[in-house]
Amino acid sequence: MNNTNLNIRTDREVKLAAEKIFEELGLNMTTAINMFLKQTIRENGIPFELKLNTPNAATVSAIEEGRKIAEDKSIKGYSDIDSLRAALDV
């Protein structure tokens, strides 16, 4: 095997927290990074889902509806689950 060095920069707290987890798993940083790199090759991409934390249209609509309901004093509210269940007849 033809080894090469890889130098990366990361926040000290991130490194220490990751090392603690790797140690509990019986791994060291080098082994864990190599596992990540090999899985990246196998998957032909990042081996976990990358996404922005942006709500979809249905969620945005539900949030807006909830805010309108919360501000509308004419809509009856419930302060406990028993009152809500009684109103729903459940």
**Is 45 within a domain?**
no
- Quick one: pLDDT at residue 58? 94
**Is 22 within a domain?**
no
Q: Does pTM surpass 0.75?
A: no
Q: Counting Cβ atoms within 10 Å, is residue 22 exposed (0-12), middle (13-18) or buried (19+)?
A: middle
How many domains are there within the chain?
A: 1
Helix axes 29-43, 12-24, angle to 10 degrees: 90
**Is 80 within a domain?**
yes
**Is 17 within a domain?**
no
pLDDT at residue 90 above 90?
Answer: no
Domain holding 73, by residue range, is 57-88
Model confidence over 57-84: pLDDT tens digits? 999 999 999 999 889 989 888 889 999 9
The overall average pLDDT reported for the chain is 93
Whether residue 47 contacts residue 40, with contact meaning beta carbons closer than 8 Å, is answered with: yes
**Is 6 within a domain?**
no
